[in-house]
Amino acid sequence: MEECQKEMHMSKKARSRKKAPAIGPRIVRAWFDTVINPLLNGLEKEQHLLAQHNWTWEFSPPSLEAIHRVQAYVDRNNLEHFTQHYPVVARAIEEHDQQQLLLLQHCQQLQSLLVGSPELLALYQQVTTPEALAEMGTTIEQLFSGSPQEQRLNLLAQYIVNHAGELSYFYIIAPLWNKHRQAFLTLLEHPSIRSTSEAMNKAGEAMWRSVDKLLRLLKEVRQKLAEEHDVPYVEPSTVVVEPAVVRYMVPPPHVTHTP
């Protein structure tokens, strides 16, 4: 009986040895190509936009155009496997996604406040008089593609929420936005809007920090995995060297958020 138990114990031990994490170069390669690298690329873009206070807010449909939940960047199945092995990354991802949701909510709040504010309406009316439009060499129909006034205010509010910079003249709204941009952005300082705008900025900064934390973690994990398993960050066979240009052609992951 005792021996039997001992045997059982040993076989359990042997089984558990077999079950020990078997992360090899193939799995690491898959994690790099379908989870870590695409996520790092996405997060770097997010960080760049967040640093400019461009939340990439879109009012229709309400969404953040370039700041996504992590799942949007990666292969879900490989992400699940990866985070099972790195719970610390899983927590950072959760935090990132929570901040993303909060940011979205703040954008929505600020948008609604701006669209309903008498100040935006007054400014809109002031800058779209026939004389003002004639001076810009455009018409209201051209600027807003024939959309009703509510939509026009929504569009302007969206640009304000995103602290949009000067636009290339490729964009239809550029003549109006570029000429009156400063006046539109000053609305964020108005006493009835300031506190919501400041809360928005704080949410954006918190989002930036969560992106930064996740970026650092992922880079650390990637370095460790690469060195432990002798796997390069990018498969050499997918690097194409052209005169003066090195282009990395990583096979695209299965991305769930595609326009």
Residues that bind another protein (CB under 8 A): 49, 54, 56, 58, 61, 65-66, 141, 145-146, 158-159, 162, 164, 167-173, 258-259
Min separation Cβ 7 and another protein, Å: 58
- Report residue 87 CA to chain centroid gap: 22
Min separation Cβ 106 and another protein, Å: 18
Min separation Cβ 13 and another protein, Å: 52
Question: Which string of b and e fits 224-239 if b means at least 16 CB within 10 Å?
Answer: ebbeeeebebeeeeee
CB 163 within 8 Å of CB 54:
yes
Element (H, E) at 210: helix 194-229
**Which residue type occupies 243?**
P
Min separation Cβ 257 and another protein, Å: 10
Q: Token pair of 21, please?
A: 């994490």
**What burial class does residue 47 get, using C-beta atoms within 10 Å of its C-beta: 0-12 exposed, 13-18 middle, 19+ buried?**
middle
Min separation Cβ 135 and another protein, Å: 20
DSSP string computed for 5-40: HHHHHHHHHHHHHHHS----HHHHHHHIIIIIHHHH
Min separation Cβ 227 and another protein, Å: 33
Output 180 or 222, the one with its CB closest to another protein: 180
| Cα separations in angstroms, 226 against 16, 80, 136, 170 | 26, 20, 57, 44
